[in-house]
Amino acid sequence: QVRLVESGGGSVEAGGSLRLSCAASDHTANFVCMGWFRQAPGKEREAVANIYMSVGFTNYADSVQGRFTISRDNAKNRVFLQMNNLTPNDTAIYYCVAGTDQYNWYDPRKYKFWGQGTPVTVSS
């Protein structure tokens, strides 16, 4: 069973930065793509970003484009999410995901493996 373990969440003030890390128990090169979803209190889970593990192509939600950067290190089986210029609207539980479906990156049903999540709180 593949395990994904997130780290790096925490509390910051608006305008601050955080770097999330996701460690996979399997070789990340075995996945077609990995990414990050988030879920804020009272809201549905939403896609944040994803990356195709072989070529490095990335996708971002409009709400984070230009502020967040997803990257990978296949040698260390890790995926990262650098989050800059954070706002209170970014407050959520952030989940690392991995899957083998290359289509519809924003659809949570396309990802077979999920981490337990790491909380991010941004205060104004």
* pLDDT for 72: 95
Spatial CA neighbour of 54 closest among 35, 80, 28, 79: 28
Which pLDDT belongs to residue 82?
98
- 3-state SS assignment for residue 43: coil
Tokens of 12: 């910051």
Q: Tell me what pLDDT residue 36 has.
A: 98
Q: What is the pLDDT of residues 89-112, one digit of tens each?
A: 999 999 999 998 878 999 999 999
3-state SS class at 123: strand
- Provide the β-strand partners of residue 82: 19, 69
| Tens-place pLDDT, residues 47-90 | 999 999 999 999 999 999 999 999 999 899 999 999 999 999 99
Helix (H) and strand (E) counts in the chain: 0, 11
- Both tokens of 63, joined, read 């709400």
